[in-house]
Amino acid sequence: MSSYLKDLDYSVVQQCMHCGMCLPTCPTYMETKLERNSPRGRISLMRAIADGQLEAKKAFSDEMYFCLGCLACETACPAGVDYTQLFEMARAEAERKVGKQSPPRRLFRWFLLDVLFHQQWRLRLVGKFLWYYQASGLQGLVRSSGILRLLPKSLRGLEAKTPTIKQHFSPDLIEPEEAPGSRRPPGDGQPAYRVGLLTGCVQDLIYSDVNRDTADVLLANGCTVVTPATQGCCGSLHAHNGEYEMAKAYARRLLDHFDVENLDAIITNAAGCGSHLKHFDRLLKDDPAYAAKAVQWSEKVKDISEWLGEINFRAPEKSPTKARVTYHDACHLCHGQKITVQPRELLKKIPGLDVAPLTESMWCCGSAGIYNLIQPEMAAKLQQRKIDHIAATGASIVATGNPGCLLQIQNGLAARGTKIEAMHPVTLLAQAYRSER
């Protein structure tokens, strides 16, 4: 059986010089203080497999799934270790060698990654069902009836984490093509740019309003917005969870949906997706039919805050919100894409907002894709740590640019019983533009 780690360029495998500078930035190491839970320990395991000194067994797989994939170690590393690649290859290795051993786990992953996320219509169908379940009050009845106590603890935990589904998904809210001046908020004359908008998979179900906000902000800044109604999952969930071949297939499908050559930028408002989308060039480099388009794509993918910074977005004249706001850096924005300044600048340009610093703003909140589902204890510890810091700022709003973080923080705030709101920065900007009318 071939090996992802043995096939990986050896210059990537041997970058680590064991200095340990990454250790204090690693959330799992700092919780356990065990070397094997550190970036250095994990990289040693990966290298031992690449060198043929170790076989990927269950202990290796468990360790790779205890890692958050937060990439804080990559930011801290003076040797330029490419932990993104190592992590993806290590999880793919774990799936190839160990993943098939546990039938319940296989069933869960098959349903989630192969069935649900494979076609957007399936996800939307489940989303519609959940919306009816929640909006009709059935969810409240089921919860208060005590029937959920009959479920295994893991399923009870899953039910409690079910996000609130929006009644309308992105295609109901955004036309396939919108030009400045064509709708709210008022545009600034002639379109200066033509951009594609990615609406995501989970984002489309639970934060479709953020997609609308993103389109509005782009329109207000002279961008014609092209939003294909069916786009599908970008495959970041698959790449981060060891399904590398599936991730490639999803990347090809997404490329087919956009006329990349005739767009100035492709905009994402989900940090976890953005950091994966920017690597399509690497993902498809050996695919002769897609490699060139993937390179163009990777050059044009921009986080919304990054794009707004590049085009020197217009500061709103007023805002309906007067509040202290703090900002949580989503790992895949600050570590994965090195974007930290632009979202803060965005917030500072909105009148009425007092931007307060957040202690450990770059420390993972425990969301990390589906980490909070598969490692609930560690995820809960990190969530509490984040909520403690947010509460200490005295802010009434915490802004963050990733749906997973938004959900994790919203759940943590609700459990704490605070009135602090968690919002995407682009929502605050869209609200400010709308208040100008």
User: Which residues would be at the binding site for ligand SF4 (CB under 6 A)?
Assistant: 16-22, 25-28, 39-40, 42-43, 67-73, 76-77, 79, 81, 83
- Nearer to ligand SF4 among residue 17 and residue 107 (C-beta): 17
- Min dist CB 47 to ligand SF4, Å, is 10
Q: Which of 322, 348, 342 is nearest to 330 (CA)?
A: 342
- Min dist CB 33 to ligand SF4, Å, is 13
8 A C-beta contact, residue 407 and residue 399 = no
For 402, other C-beta atoms within 10 Å of its C-beta total 30
For 172, residues 6+ apart whose C-beta sits below 8 A from its C-beta are: 208
Please report, as a single letter, which amino acid is at residue 68.
L
Interatomic CA distance for residues 398 and 147, integer angstroms = 35
User: SS3 of 194, please?
Assistant: strand
8 A C-beta contact, residue 402 and residue 375 = no
For 384, residues 6+ apart whose C-beta sits below 8 A from its C-beta are: 412
- Nearer to ligand SF4 among residue 173 and residue 380 (C-beta): 380
- Min dist CB 85 to ligand SF4, Å, is 12
- Min dist CB 7 to ligand SF4, Å, is 21
Q: How far apart are the first and last CA of the chain?
A: 63
8 A C-beta contact, residue 329 and residue 340 = yes
- Nearer to ligand SF4 among residue 71 and residue 197 (C-beta): 71
- Min dist CB 359 to ligand SF4, Å, is 18
DSSP code string of 350-402: STTEEEE--TTTTS--S-TTTHHHHSHHHHHHHHHHHHHHHHHHT-SEEE-S-
356 φψ region: left (φ > 0), alpha (ψ -120 to 50), beta (else): beta
191 φψ region: left (φ > 0), alpha (ψ -120 to 50), beta (else): beta
- Nearer to ligand SF4 among residue 81 and residue 358 (C-beta): 81
Q: Which of 211, 198, 126 is nearest to 165 (CA)?
A: 126
- Nearer to ligand SF4 among residue 45 and residue 397 (C-beta): 45
User: SS3 of 8, please?
Assistant: coil
- Min dist CB 31 to ligand SF4, Å, is 10
- Nearer to ligand SF4 among residue 39 and residue 222 (C-beta): 39
- Min dist CB 378 to ligand SF4, Å, is 9
- Min dist CB 95 to ligand SF4, Å, is 17
- Min dist CB 239 to ligand SF4, Å, is 14
- Nearer to ligand SF4 among residue 28 and residue 393 (C-beta): 28
Q: Would you give the DSSP letter of residue 324?
A: E
220 half-sphere exposure, CB direction, 13 A CA radius: 26
Helix (H) or strand (E) holding 197: strand 193-197
- Nearer to ligand SF4 among residue 178 and residue 329 (C-beta): 329
- Min dist CB 302 to ligand SF4, Å, is 24
- Nearer to ligand SF4 among residue 366 and residue 425 (C-beta): 366
8 A C-beta contact, residue 291 and residue 284 = yes
8 A C-beta contact, residue 194 and residue 408 = no
Q: Which of 123, 93, 82, 139 is nearest to 336 (CA)?
A: 82
Tell me whether the omega of the peptide bond preceding residue 185 falls within 30 degrees of 0, making it cis. Answer: yes
- Nearer to ligand SF4 among residue 17 and residue 125 (C-beta): 17
- Nearer to ligand SF4 among residue 228 and residue 404 (C-beta): 404
- Min dist CB 46 to ligand SF4, Å, is 11
